[in-house]
Structure 1
Amino acid sequence: MNTIQPDHNGTNLRIGIVQARFSNEIGSAMLKVCTGKLIQLGVHTDDITVATVPGALEVPLVLQNMAASRQYDALIAIGAVIRGETYHFELVANESGAGITRVGLDYNIPIANAILTTENDAQARARIEEKAADAAVVAVECANLTNLLLQDQFEDEV
């Protein structure tokens, strides 16, 4: 049995991040934690690209364009969708999540979805540190895994 161990070495990885500015206090705090963790994992600051968009519904489009550029090993979506008094919460949460997943599958690129969906601001603030740091770890680990699997696939074809 072959077991591939998790690889959290971010050296030489290129990571793209899209941050939704709606609930910007939370998104900005998440961005700071996430980029700090990426650097801690060995990703060079010059290899991190950050784009911001108005809200969570715009995140998939920018991720799609980043993925299409083939310049990144992994992508990260950051933001917060906080329940209000209308159905809009469900629409934004569901559609942004589905769009993010579709981009990853369509372009065969790992995307760490760190868009919080919470009932209130307090719940979102309580999840900033853990979710943002996890997104960095997921992006690095899945980028390394995908790169390894693609390399093995290429070597098998040669």
Structure 2
Amino acid sequence: MNTAKSRCLGAIAIGAILLLPATLALAQTDSGSDVPAEVVERGRYIALTSGCNDCHTPNYGIAEGQVPEELWLTGDVLGWHGPWGTTYAPNLRLLAAELDEQQWVEMTHSLRARPPMPWFNLNAMSVEDAGALYHYIRSFESLGEPAPDYLPPGEMPAVPYVDFVLE
């Protein structure tokens, strides 16, 4: 084998060895259970394409989705104000840390929430997809603070908030 080819193969082997712990860490959730990397990646895909970040990641829409992944799903202080009062997107990392997978799946299938949360879409999510989303969220450390509490109709939120006018 020529020297250049040997060096290239050696570099690839060393790179693979160095990346192995990171790959294994990704597949192990905070809950301590080993989860196949494909399940975690499926959960990432679901979070990304289902619009979870739109509300549950600070400044995601303003930044056109260019928020570092390590900040995803940490909740937001942006209020959503309308006839129902003011709602805030909760920190999903803190929420998932309080639940096991079965509790998470049950929550996704029974949730009834105020706007703008599309709870009816979450209710329709398959058990497998809800579990994958859970494991993706749990692959991160619990980070951030709880979202502000819901405010009833007539109580004005502190800024910032989005005002939904329904006529």
Q: Per the shorter chain, which TM-score range? A: under 0.3
Which has more radius of gyration? Answer: 2
TM-score relative to the length of structure 1: 0.26
Q: Which has the higher helix share?
A: 1
Q: Which has the higher strand share?
A: 1
